[in-house]
Structure 1
Amino acid sequence: MSRTFLYCRVSTSGQFTENQVQEVKAAGFDVQASRVIEETISGSTTAKERPGFQKLLDRMESSDVLIVTKLDRLGRNAMDVRQTVEHLAATGIRVHCLALGGVDLTSAAGKMTMQVLGAVAEFERDLLIERTQSGLKRARAEGKRLGRPEAKATTDAVQKLKARDMTQIEVASELNIGIATVKRHWNKGKAFILSQA
């Protein structure tokens, strides 16, 4: 007899999984509280590296059903989602996604849906990269300086304290900045001396 499990994931501790649980109940699925796995972990972490998801896999058996509200609960990108669904399908577990009308992602229609979504995601990613590169090229052609602005005030402050024979740690403490920031500005002494001339 198949059992129904629910996997709920949020990225930060300021978010809550209750909405996902309510959404599944509203869709007519009856999931026992003991079969609801809730996890707070970044979506950038692959499903196989998530402790809660691993706990879920340990409990599920062939013919069980896994419900998620959205595909991004399962993985960080289309490839990760596809691999996760394929792994679950290989063990006989069906996967239903509410955002896709409750379609079983392990069925023929679900596989086709996954392929279409993967192609769209790849197309969007390629377009984004193309637009970003075009924008950077245009900005360079217009003579715009890219990246963070130079922190001249920080360099000046570090160099003044360095000239008073303070150590890097003392300078960091005095300016209330990190030691890595001090080190970045520490050897800009020649530029500082020239700017003061």
Structure 2
Amino acid sequence: MQRTFFYINGASEGAFPERELIQLDKAGYAVALSRVVMDAVAPYVAAAERPALTRLLGRIDAEDELVVLQLSALGCNARDVLATLLSCRKGKIGVRCVELGGVDLTGRPEPQAVKMLRAVVRMEAATRSERSRNGLQAAQRSGRPTGRPASLSAHDRARVMSSLGSGLSVSEVARRFGTSRQTVLRIRAAAGTPDFR
């Protein structure tokens, strides 16, 4: 028998979510208080870090249904909400959102709202990638160093070259300086020393 659970994050009036329960009732749901689960975490907290939601998703059975008032109850951003919905779909859990008209967001064919969510996630990823690329190019144009900082100081790099010049092997130098062989090889290459291993 299918059961319906209700998840509320950040109840409006203290500990008892009276306003939220009225909204669920107006949306046509018969709410059993024993199936209402609440968190009181900030909206920017990821779904995986919402304790009541995590516990509920861990115990809810396949074919059961989860109802939320707003899409933001399922995660902190579009990517997080989409991940929650896909996890529920995989577990065969129906998810309905009152804000979106109560359509099953995990159903097949995929609802338009979920398609839109996927498009937003792709757009955000492309925007982040473009911003990162532009920032890197601007840093390179202005002469600022990019990438990971050097693991050894300029003084230590000079000592590495001195150690290599005194006949120590790359592996031995790496051990002495607590770094990798690859780092020692990069230092030697940057100094223009021939690659005699």
TM-score greater than 0.5 by the shorter chain = yes
Structure number with larger C-alpha Rg: 2
Instruction: Give distance in 2, aligned partners of 1:93 and 1:101.
Output: 18
Q: Does 1:91 align with 2:91?
A: yes
Question: Structure 1 regions of 5+ residues with no counterpart?
Answer: 131-197
Bigger fraction of residues in helix:
1
Distance 1:30 1:75, change over 3 A: same
Could you tell me which residue of structure 2 aligns to residue 70 of structure 1? 70
Task: Output aligned runs, 1:20-169, within 5 Å.
Answer: 20-108=20-108, 110-120=110-120, 126=127
Any runs of at least 4 consecutive aligned residues in structure 1 with deviations exceeding 4 A, and if so which? 11-16, 120-126
Please tell me whether the aligned partners of residues 88 and 95 of structure 1 are also in contact (alpha carbons under 8 angstroms). Answer: yes
Task: Supply the distance in 2 between the matched residues of 1:29 and 1:5 (Cα, whole angstroms).
Answer: 10
Change (3 A) 1:54 1:45: same
Contact 2:68/2:96 (8 A) holds in 1: yes
**Match for residue 7 of structure 1?**
7
**C-alpha distance in 1 between matches for 2:21 and 2:12:** 17
Give the Cα separation in 1 of the matches to 2:13 and 2:27: 26
Tell me the SS of whatever aligns to 2:34.
Answer: helix
Displacement of 1:111: 4.0
Q: What corresponds to 1:195 in structure 2?
A: none
| Residues 12 and 48 of structure 1, relative CA distance in 2, 3 Å threshold | farther
What amino acid sits opposite 1:119 in the alignment? A
2: CA distance between counterparts of 1:59 and 1:48?
14
How far apart, CA to CA, are the structure 2 residues paired with 1:55 and 1:120?
A: 28
For 1:84 and 1:26, how far apart are their aligned partners in 2?
A: 26
How far does the alpha carbon of each residue in 1:146-166 deviate from its partner, in whole angstroms, 9 at most, with x for none? xxxxxxxxxxxxxxxxxxxxx
Q: Deviation of residue 19 (structure 1)?
A: 2.2
Measure the CA separation in 1 of the matches of 2:124 and 2:15.
Answer: 27
TM-score, normalised by the number of residues in structure 1:
0.57
Q: Provide the identity percentage.
A: 36
| Cα RMSD after superposing both structures | 3.0
Q: How far does residue 38 in structure 1 lie from its aligned partner after superposition?
A: 1.1
- Partner residue, 2:146: none
Deviation at 1:109, TM superposition (A): 5.1
